[in-house]
Structure 1
């Protein structure tokens, strides 16, 4: 009697600890070869060619697609608190990502709940041809076996379900490209020394604010190189460099409520070094403003529950745009799940809304991985080709309030059959935003935005200005988000408040309650994703208070409040 496919696969895996046709022993001597920079590409090409011709388990099919990625990273960081060094390190690394697909583009081992088409491993940083080939062989062998088992489970699950109408393939075609780009500027020892001194100076500012319990400033510099090879002969070699400075402070209010706030200063090295960062005076002023806001919130009143108009500006506007406009535009298909047709994922909020109005007609959204920021420099999250080797494309997501398309990887949808260069990730790829630009035609100056907020709130309504949110990972049907830094705007004055909870935020709120936007863009930048957006004004926002249990405040004051430490060691 013929065994079912799933049983055959696991039976073969149980008796096969390594692929005999591929290698006689995991401990065999590594093949000799070049040891210079060209060794990496040659090792990738040679081992991929061997895998495509020899990698096979019994009667099972060989891979129909392979993707090898080598990512080199030279990362250094410095952390300081109150003008004193906390941590300093320099760490070079090399990570190997491998994607293995078995079956066919119509149906393979991907797009199935719990599946991953590949794996990753940290490998030697030396450009040793033989060692790298051995690492590639071991990881490819493992991922091929996993891919066979996943495909068998997927077919077994499909066999007991009703046939799908208009079934969409699992993998789309993409152009074969060969690109080499270098937008990195090396970080010299002198640059690291300057950053270290900068961390000490910025962190010492918190000595001026003894009611801030902790103030930490950290810098990270990174030079990265990503080399990618596919079995379709796509080759990309891309280098980038970036520097980031993060500031994090926290304290406890008199009633025990935990308060914290953060800042991020980011810059991409293009034609300069650490001079690409904002001037010290600007960063110092922002750190002092953060510390003062946090100090004021210790004694600020709790926000009142009710309905209000809320102006999100600066960092908060970028954080909100990320939640409402970045994740919902991922066109990644929902994975099939055993026992049901599709899994669920709240990030696909706009998947069925192409051609529909989801925002005011004055709002437009574009994602462009190659675009420059408002100050005409590269954004830290940008790239020329995505993590599948597909050239990046400028994609208009919303035009005058109407959804035009989604961000796509090589996992197609029925109405979007090909990638637009937004596949992100290492071994497992997902369509995601990169450099998201939110624009508003007829945007208002700040004083006009505040006037619009007062009008929309009405004579009895409250107006809040939110400058920073607690981070959240995504939006489903609607969720409550917490304001870290907020003020109530009343009679032309700003009054600090704390404990401001903003309820019911979901993408549908863009159409229903977004009433105005500013005319001055703000950048929230990260390695993975950057958001450029003006201030955003929402009306009819349900305001509540957090339900978190308060901590017991310290029994006696910080020594900085009563001793020469407050200024004596400041730099």
Structure 2
């Protein structure tokens, strides 16, 4: 007779969460006040291992585990409820609270301990929600009635998923050996005064239940391998370069030979950047390579299509009321698809099955042939869009908001790389510019979407090439960063390349750091503005590195000691 399968501890904990949720739903109420109309519980179990080496020696060899709890308690109704932006729950109370519950779950699989932690957080969240609900009702007295005001929260069908456990092996011995070996490559180049080779694995197991009936157990694993180094140019400017790889499996990380090649490339590029001339601020035509183009769309367009940014009091609302209107060149379309795990054999960081609000991640067409069609939506509705499309995302215990996942940019006006460069030169000549620019690599960027500042974005390019309009010769330059206003920049796109590139990384916003990807072809912009980068005037290290000193022959020969002669 076959032995019964071992009980799944995850299911046991999910049952405990559901039991505590039901108890609170049925009994939680203050006299003469409304009970909650909606509640959800989420547990995230984080497990991480990391090794890192510098100068050929191990500097990091660590692992940790923690469980984080997020509780959502809403008073009122789907039409009008107690919800306020993240961080505002207690900020307006004159009395405040003398105790804030810890948002941690037990590492032991103890149903009672888990229920107790959830009970305490739920009590706190209910009191806060009730306070905010009454306050919002009072403030509503002074507000002009808006017949177009969307509901506070979307109604969604319950979701169910029990994903099988996912293994997350970590071959520590291999990675320690490789990190030591590869980091030692940098010792031969003392101009690169610091460097690191780091390998990580992050596993997140998520348990989610809601009063609507959702029950979800999901697991995601993400491996990372990073090779980075820094140096200074002779004028003091700090320069950095890196290679970053991500994979949902350990086997998907690059092999040892490729990691060594990556380190050699970082060394080669940084030495070239040290010798490259710094250029003055520039306004003119430029080609953004696929990764750089992806960062442009992520910062200039993607963040401005996130749902909460359409109605927030402090938001610039760049695309509010623009649905059905032309907002980009007619040959550009943009989608976001969290259900896409791989593209052309390469993994995408932004993949997930269900978002942090229990809604299935869905492909959404944001811009179709230049026309705005939709927004990225969590469970905060936007005028005209009353359902979530599964983009409510967050890190740890932060409140979910609509965020990008896998942003995909398509173009129907695609030409070869050679033709794109020809068009760049022709446009630079037309504008009377002595050169155009090609930006082949970028570290990332940031943007401001608030109404309190200028609507702008910034990108930090790494490998920038000046293209002479007479000869077409490319010269590596440094010392500038991309700036601009979003609507102006993206509407000056003239054409695109044919080959798409993938930028994998993490995006930070109100709800924390979440893994994202952008997929885009090269883009030729009629005009791009680059300002001078922050100039460093720091001296490089005064002495040579110990590794270099040990290699240098002695500059003087020590003579043997002699006794003075007797008179």
TM-score when normalising by structure 2? 0.85
Q: Residue 360 of structure 1: CA displacement?
A: 2.2
Given that 2:168 and 2:201 are in contact with CA atoms closer than 8 Å, whether structure 1 keeps it comes out as no
Residue number among 405, 408, 429 corresponding to 1:434 in the alignment: 405
Q: Compare 219-228 and 113-122 and name the one that shifted more.
A: 113-122
Answering whether residue 358 of structure 2 is matched by residue 389 of structure 1, we say yes
Q: Determine the structure 2 residue equivalent to 1:206.
A: 186
Q: Residue 377 of structure 1: CA displacement?
A: 5.5
Separation of aligned partners in 2, 1:74 and 1:530: 22
Given that 1:483 and 1:499 are in contact with CA atoms closer than 8 Å, whether structure 2 keeps it comes out as no
Query: Aligned pair in 2 of structure 1 residues 142, 88: CA closer, same or farther (>3 Å)?
Result: same
Query: Aligned pair in 2 of structure 1 residues 358, 155: CA closer, same or farther (>3 Å)?
Result: same
Misfit runs of 4+, over 4 Å:
111-114, 116-120
Provide the secondary structure at the position in 1 that maps to 2:460: strand
Query: Aligned pair in 2 of structure 1 residues 548, 153: CA closer, same or farther (>3 Å)?
Result: farther
Q: Determine the structure 1 residue equivalent to 2:37.
A: 64
Given that 1:374 and 1:521 are in contact with CA atoms closer than 8 Å, whether structure 2 keeps it comes out as no
Q: Determine the structure 1 residue equivalent to 2:336.
A: 367
Q: Once superposed, what is the RMSD of the aligned Cα atoms?
A: 2.6
Provide the secondary structure at the position in 2 that maps to 1:517: strand
Q: Residue 235 of structure 1: CA displacement?
A: 0.9
Given that 2:437 and 2:465 are in contact with CA atoms closer than 8 Å, whether structure 1 keeps it comes out as yes
Query: Aligned pair in 2 of structure 1 residues 410, 501: CA closer, same or farther (>3 Å)?
Result: same
Q: Determine the structure 1 residue equivalent to 2:380.
A: 411
Q: Determine the structure 2 residue equivalent to 1:181.
A: 163
Q: Determine the structure 2 residue equivalent to 1:488.
A: 466
Given that 1:180 and 1:236 are in contact with CA atoms closer than 8 Å, whether structure 2 keeps it comes out as yes
Given that 1:311 and 1:464 are in contact with CA atoms closer than 8 Å, whether structure 2 keeps it comes out as yes
Structure 1 segment 312-391 matched on structure 2, within 5 A: 312-332=288-308, 343-346=313-316, 348-376=317-345, 378-391=347-360
Separation of aligned partners in 1, 2:310 and 2:371: 23
Q: Determine the structure 2 residue equivalent to 1:295.
A: 271
Given that 1:247 and 1:287 are in contact with CA atoms closer than 8 Å, whether structure 2 keeps it comes out as yes
Separation of aligned partners in 1, 2:254 and 2:420: 27
Structure 1 segment 250-289 matched on structure 2, within 5 A: 250-269=230-249, 274-289=250-265
Q: Determine the structure 1 residue equivalent to 2:551.
A: 564
Query: Aligned pair in 2 of structure 1 residues 514, 291: CA closer, same or farther (>3 Å)?
Result: farther
Separation of aligned partners in 2, 1:89 and 1:110: 39
Provide the secondary structure at the position in 2 that maps to 1:555: coil
> Can you list the C-alpha shifts for 1:59-108, whole angstroms capped at 9, x where unaligned?
22111111101111211111111221111112122111111111111111
Q: Residue 134 of structure 1: CA displacement?
A: 0.4
Structure 1 segment 508-519 matched on structure 2, within 5 A: 508-519=488-499
Q: Compare 128-137 and 550-559 and name the one that shifted more.
A: 550-559
Answering whether residue 211 of structure 2 is matched by residue 235 of structure 1, we say no
Query: Aligned pair in 2 of structure 1 residues 317, 564: CA closer, same or farther (>3 Å)?
Result: farther
Residue number among 490, 494, 518 corresponding to 1:531 in the alignment: 518
Given that 1:333 and 1:411 are in contact with CA atoms closer than 8 Å, whether structure 2 keeps it comes out as no
Query: Aligned pair in 2 of structure 1 residues 246, 260: CA closer, same or farther (>3 Å)?
Result: same
Given that 1:111 and 1:170 are in contact with CA atoms closer than 8 Å, whether structure 2 keeps it comes out as no
Given that 1:80 and 1:203 are in contact with CA atoms closer than 8 Å, whether structure 2 keeps it comes out as yes
- Equivalenced residues, count: 520
Provide the secondary structure at the position in 2 that maps to 1:535: strand
TM-score when normalising by structure 1? 0.85
Q: Determine the structure 2 residue equivalent to 1:453.
A: 424
Residue number among 424, 446, 462 corresponding to 1:473 in the alignment: 446
Separation of aligned partners in 1, 2:78 and 2:101: 20
Provide the secondary structure at the position in 2 that maps to 1:485: strand
Separation of aligned partners in 1, 2:381 and 2:334: 22
Separation of aligned partners in 2, 1:220 and 1:352: 43
Query: Aligned pair in 2 of structure 1 residues 313, 119: CA closer, same or farther (>3 Å)?
Result: farther
Query: Aligned pair in 2 of structure 1 residues 278, 349: CA closer, same or farther (>3 Å)?
Result: farther
Answering whether residue 13 of structure 2 is matched by residue 54 of structure 1, we say no
Structure 1 segment 63-82 matched on structure 2, within 5 A: 63-82=36-55
Separation of aligned partners in 2, 1:301 and 1:108: 58
Given that 1:95 and 1:120 are in contact with CA atoms closer than 8 Å, whether structure 2 keeps it comes out as no
> Can you list the C-alpha shifts for 1:34-63, whole angstroms capped at 9, x where unaligned?
994432012101111111122122322111
Gaps of 5+ in 1: 1-33, 336-341, 567-571
Q: Determine the structure 2 residue equivalent to 1:91.
A: 64
Q: Residue 212 of structure 1: CA displacement?
A: 1.0
